[in-house]
Amino acid sequence: MSLPRTAAAASAAAAALLLLAAPQAAADGGPGRHGRADGTGGRFFLTVSGAQNTWIRGVQLSCPDADGHHPHAAEACTTLNKAKGDPGRVPGAEHRCTRQYDPVTATAEGEWNGRPVVWHKTFPNACALDAATGPVFRF
């Protein structure tokens, strides 16, 4: 399968899962309901995929209540709160990584305080992803 077709399939799958979550968000009172009075909250569908989309993993994360299937939801929500919902502003974790090149791409799609968030970045390997994003993509 070609890279564009696989990438399109991965994007379509992520979009479908977000659409499935939308009725629940509406039932909960809309996007603002997931935030607290201090304006810290959101809902994300997070994915990590391997080189040329040979594999993909994804989880849903809702903050501040740490709902979803993320194994480190509370830590991920705290980290995203400090970064104001922007995965690109996450301070990361300090540890060394090898220079092995086995690229992984991380994506975050959803909303933070009612503002849409679409973020993606490719890292040279899974260790570099973990070092840069801390618990957010640790699933």
- What whole-number distance in Å separates Cα of residue 116 and Cα of residue 128? 26
- What whole-number distance in Å separates Cα of residue 79 and Cα of residue 55? 26
- What whole-number distance in Å separates Cα of residue 71 and Cα of residue 73? 6
Which one, of 104, 105, 103, 134, lies nearest residue 120 by Cα? Answer: 105
Using a cut of 0.75, tell me whether the model's pTM lies above it.
no
pLDDT tens-place string over residues 91-138: 887 889 999 999 999 999 999 999 999 999 999 999 999 999 999 999
Q: How far is CA 24 from the centre of its chain?
A: 19
Q: Is 42 helix (H, G, I), strand (E, B) or coil?
A: strand
- What whole-number distance in Å separates Cα of residue 32 and Cα of residue 65? 13
pLDDT tens-place string over residues 39-75: 568 999 999 999 888 999 999 999 988 777 899 999 9
